[in-house]
Structure 1
């Protein structure tokens, strides 16, 4: 892949940095990008937690490469949107995030079908994403044995934990049940909380299993979930977590274990490396 100059990277870094509000995005600055390599760099360095407006610009650009568009498609976690018809808009909780991502998926699908994207030497292999979308293994549906769990934290309290405060709360957990309590609220703040909890030395099989199902249920608003879910499955399969706390996913009212029947199919052309 053609390397970008420092000037090209600086233009992107100066105008599309993490933390920039979507309302502050300048389309005229985006139009200064003139190569698919610049769009690839922008896509790879974008934090999806900041919104997907800039990703729509990339997907709609005539200089976007097939590889970049395909990567956007799979990072959007399309399986989570197969429960909707391609002709509908999404209503309900997180409508802003969900509907915008669904529109991004549909844009990429339509443009791929019409041969809109450029063929370049940029590569992307969707295999790892496809594998992550496979059916959940049966052992991930089984309860863990251990101490009885309970929730003592309040949602209103946890909602006020951000950034360094959040990281410190997680790092300072000194019992599995305390870490379990923090993990139980993972659906409300899908920043780096799940990854920090999984790396905590007190993370056990019950906590990891709960995180898996929390992420699976709510992952359509966080693009890193697929790799984390795969990591959890692998470690549970290999018995890498101690079994300390009791957790039964079939009794967890916060999660969804059943898969709705897909209302559209992912085309075979979207499953091939480019």
Structure 2
């Protein structure tokens, strides 16, 4: 078998020569991503190896994707789905190889619970014209936000925002009339942007605003005025990680 440095990159012909679960497990600890897909589809793959690859693939990041997302759209999601589907089929070998996912689970980044909580309040209503609001840019837009003298007026602007000007969102969440509903609506719009390749280079700017909203919600800085339920409006969690993926294999 190759030494550790050669585990990283491997041709499929060489991979096919591996015919023991322990070798596959060793390979899984060092190899490139594309080899992991071969491993989790191998008849020599152990439950421990598959579980290790699963938790190394940051699965919580992909619960936002539809389980029915077309194959080939996202390689990480494809890998995660392959592992779960194979566990359900009893495909993986039970061996003496052990794996405890608890450390990975404990440090895994998840959607903050605070931004999943619905807020109960008045039902908001729309009286601004969508096309007009979406035609506002730059200083004019910032002035319109600044001049808002009620939560419903600020809501009517926030609901139609679709800009790459992130200072606009900062202006919204920092406004004296911003409530929990507006903050949550802003959070999930920006969170959606963070998953799009168009905004990849803006991740740090988006993350800063998301963190600011999370902190303000945690500190209860916003009043509860309007109703908003992210689980209905945006349904951020599309599927749940099965319970058996949290179990230690020993």
TM-score by length of 1: 0.44
In the superposition, the TM-score normalised over structure 2's length comes to 0.47
The structure with more radius of gyration? 2
